[in-house]
């Protein structure tokens, strides 16, 4: 960060870094709740379960079929769990870069 940026710029980047961390954490939380709903066989007709599972499925699309274990629940735990981990790591890396 340059000296010309000053406190205001530094504060703005720290705020942005916090928002990135928060967003990555919330995305991971939605995915983990989606995993729990699948593993615990939550009622798919429930509006909340359906909305969270749809969001989690959309957020994890690049990770679908990355690993193909025989059991569907295991596939969801592994692939979606990996997606959640990647979101958290990527969010923390971006936040750390913004705070420099």
- Go through 9-24 and write b for each residue having 16 or more CB atoms within 10 A of its CB, e for each that does not: eeeebeeebeebbeeb
Query: How does residue 6 score in pLDDT terms, banded at 50, 70 and 90?
Result: confident
Domain membership of residue 90 (yes or no) is: yes
Domain membership of residue 42 (yes or no) is: yes
Predicted pLDDT of residue 2: 53
Domain membership of residue 54 (yes or no) is: yes
Predicted pLDDT of residue 3: 56
Domain membership of residue 1 (yes or no) is: no
Predicted pLDDT of residue 93: 98
Cβ within 8 Å of residue 15, ≥6 positions away: none
pLDDT tens digit string along 83-96?
999 999 999 999 99
Q: Which residue range is the domain that position 37 belongs to? A: 7-99
pTM: 0.89
Domain membership of residue 81 (yes or no) is: yes
How many domains does the chain contain in total?
A: 1
> Does the pLDDT value for residue 4 go beyond 70?
no
Domain membership of residue 2 (yes or no) is: no
Give, in degrees to the nearest 5, the angle at Cα 64 between 63 and 66.
Answer: 70
């Amino acid at each position: 960060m340059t000296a010309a940026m000053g406190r205001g710029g530094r504060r703005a980047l720290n705020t942005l870094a916090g928002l990135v961390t928060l967003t990555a954490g919330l995305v991971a939380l939605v995915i983990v709740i989606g995993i729990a709903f699948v593993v615990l066989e939550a009622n798919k007709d429930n509006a909340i379960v359906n909305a969270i599972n749809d969001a989690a499925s959309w957020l994890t699309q690049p990770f679908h079929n990355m690993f193909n274990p025989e059991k569907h629940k295991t596939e969801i735990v592994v692939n979606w769990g990996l997606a959640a981990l990647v979101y958290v790591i990527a969010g923390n890396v971006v936040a750390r870069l913004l705070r420099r």
